[in-house]
Amino acid sequence: MVQTDFLKGVSLFADLSEEELNNVSKQAEVVEFVRDAVICKEGQQADAMYIIKSGIVQIYCDDGRGGKKILTHLKLGEYFGEMALLTEEPRNASSVALAETELIKLTKESFHKLLHKSPAVSLSIIKTLCNRLSKTNIGAAQTRMHNVYAVLGPDTSSGKSLFARNLAMAMQKELGQEVLLFDPNLRDERVARSLGVEKRSRIIDELVDREKIKDLSQYIVKAPCGLLTILPQENGLTDIRLKEFHTFSLMQTILEHYEYVIVDSSSMYTKVTKEIVQNCDKIVYLISSKNVSITGLMDHFDETRRGWKVAPEKIVFGVNHTTGDPTQESLITDKDRERISFEIPFSKELQGKRDPEQQLLVQNSPDHPLAKVCAEQGLDILFDQSIGLFLPTFDDQPAKAELAARWIESGAGELSQALKKVAIKGPVTRNNTLCKLICGNSSKWDLNNQVVKIVDFSNRYKKEFGLDSLILSLNNQESVI
């Protein structure tokens, strides 16, 4: 029988009464899987669903080319396998234990009894399935959405355009891949001009005629600095034919063809801005230090993004110090700085140079303060997934402690080949044991691969020191593996 205190902490059973929890406990059983054991296979008929009590489970499917496509990793309290029980169809994915794993198993019969007797469980499963379906649909329609970033500001004085193109340059250098810098306002030629691009196009003409760009490549040009950009409409400043649905159509086409996109977005809260913000992985909101109230602007944008149903973790607030006179700057409180991710120091050489033709790319001067901030922010924005492993240090056993220290240093070196900002922190206490934490950052699109690597290292550490389990931290959520 499964203990009810564990079941209480599982979202699936959160709304059940004590009596209902006891019924689930009586029907469930704990099953154990060794490392690399297959739990269920794609194409099999389903006979049970599973809830993770400890360990970590990889979910994957056939990629159609003889390999496997990793879908996700699940940990403590998460569940899987319920969809096939509902549809009565073969499983559409496989699952494997990446470490010694304990699962709570509910048979098909028990699962259906639970659904009939507990409406709260049915509702929880419906919410989970809708969430998974939503993510699947978004992923199918816009497979590169997670690599699109927007830079906004409350007004044109924030320096957002200068920051956007230098951020794009920093990302391109970090990734070693092409980045597209895109201004949704095709009538405005400032982005192209700022990149030294002189050619113009008839892109609005085609959008008006067809409502969709047939061959996007004819409007894409590589600037002398190496960034890609879209050629704006020639003599487009007074062209009033460009409508919101044209911009939506163009954005969709861009997302279908380009993997890394920086959007130099409008300062106006339009439907286009809303669409961009809702479909970006990160949004940088840059505020000039000369604004009247930095607090008020951040509060206003937070209120706006809540109305747009955009998660707070997507927002990065920055302040651009555009004056060297403290009396002209807005007060920035300690509370403000808890919300602000970065500040661009005042640069006298940039003062008054808002015309993009006068200041092209400070990113070409890596020691420039703005270049350094953009490089740091590019790294933080691209690699925003945190992953870590708590490793016991055996301080009360000198010989073992020395060996553990070497393992921890070696592990940090090994993981630094794949992760960014790898560090050893601690000592910290977990389960009444002193540990060191090896931690680092990964991109969202590569997180699954990094989980595999860190779990592989944890399995070697456990074997070396005879440990049954370790604690994995994934985006600050801890799980026993």
- pLDDT tens, residue by residue, 190-238: 888 888 888 998 988 888 888 888 899 999 999 888 899 999 888 877 7
Q: Can you give the pLDDT at residue 135? A: 46
pLDDT at res. 139: 38
Say yes or no to pLDDT of 143 above 70.
Answer: no
pLDDT digits (tens, 9 = 90+) for 274-326: 888 888 889 999 999 887 789 999 999 999 999 988 889 899 999 998 888 88
**Sequence-separated (6 or more) residues with CB below 8 Å from residue 347:** 368, 369, 370
Per-residue CA distances from 319 to 230, 290, 373 (Å)? 28, 10, 11
Q: Are residues 25 and 157 in the same domain?
A: no
> What are the tens digits of pLDDT across the range 45-81?
888 889 898 888 888 888 776 677 778 888 888 888 8
Both tokens of 101, joined, read: 């794993």
Helix (H, G, I), strand (E, B) or coil at 155: coil
What pLDDT was estimated at residue 351? 60
Do residue 108 and residue 212 come from a single domain? no
- Range scoring the smallest mean pLDDT among 21-25, 160-164, 297-301, 312-316: 21-25
- Do 274 and 339 belong together in one domain? yes
- Per-residue pLDDT tens digits for 317-353: 999 988 888 888 888 899 999 999 999 888 776 665 5
Spatial separation of the C-alpha atoms in residues 102 and 120, rounded to whole Å: 25
Please check whether residues 169 and 39 belong to one and the same domain: no
Residue 352's pLDDT is what?
57
What's 113's domain CATH number? 2.60.120.10
Q: Is 338 found in the same domain as 299?
A: yes
Residues 33 and 98 in one domain: yes
pLDDT in tens, 71-110: 888 888 888 888 777 777 788 889 998 878 889 998 888 8
Q: What is the structure's pLDDT at 284?
A: 93
b/e burial code for range 210-225 (CB count within 10 A of at least 16 → b): eeebeebeebbbebeb
Q: Give the least confident one: 5-14, 59-68, 123-132, 201-210.
A: 123-132
Q: What is the mean pLDDT of residues 245-269?
A: 83
CATH of the domain at 235: 3.40.50.300
Going by pLDDT thresholds of 50, 70 and 90, the confidence category of residue 4 is confident
Same domain, 125 and 170: no
Query: For all residues of the chain together, what is the average pLDDT?
Result: 83
* pLDDT (0 to 100) of residue 441: 93
H or E segment at 450?
A: helix 447-465
- 357 vs 28, more confident: 28
Residue 1 scores a pLDDT above 60:
no
Strands (E), 75-154: 79-80, 94-97, 101-107, 148-152
Single out the residue in 111, 141, 171 at which a domain terminates.
Answer: 141
> Which of 225, 221, 280, 226 has the alpha carbon at shortest distance from 255?
280
Rounded to whole angstroms, the Cα distance separating 245 from 182 reads 17
CATH number at residue 464: 3.30.70
User: What pLDDT score was predicted for residue 144?
Assistant: 41
72 and 179 inside one domain: no
- At 355, the pLDDT band (50, 70, 90 cuts) reads very low
What percent of the chain is modeled with pLDDT above 90?
A: 26
* pTM score: 0.72
> Above pLDDT 70, what percent of the chain?
89
Query: Same domain, yes or no, for 12 and 112?
Result: yes
The continuous run of DSSP H or E covering 59 comes out as strand 57-62
> Last residue of some domain: 337, 352, 382?
382
* pLDDT for 413: 93
Of 356, 382, 408, which residue is a domain's last?
382
Confidence class for position 142, pLDDT limits 50, 70, 90: very low
Spatial separation of the C-alpha atoms in residues 374 and 384, rounded to whole Å: 15
User: Residues 178, 183, 187, 193: what is their CA dihedral angle, to the nearest 10 degrees?
Assistant: -60
Best mean pLDDT range from 180-189, 253-262, 360-369, 435-444: 435-444
Contact 169, 302 (CB under 8 A): no
d(CA 392, CA 432): 10
157 and 105 part of one domain: no
Q: Which residue segment(s) compose the domain that 425 sits in?
A: 385-480
Q: How confident is the model at residue 125 (pLDDT cuts 50, 70, 90)?
A: low
Highest mean pLDDT (candidates 87-101, 119-133, 316-330, 430-444): 430-444
Q: 206 with 266, same domain?
A: yes
Domain count, the chain: 3
Give CA–CA dist 443/465, Å, rounded.
Answer: 31
C-beta atoms surrounding 38 within 10 Å: 11
Residues 190 and 232 in one domain: yes
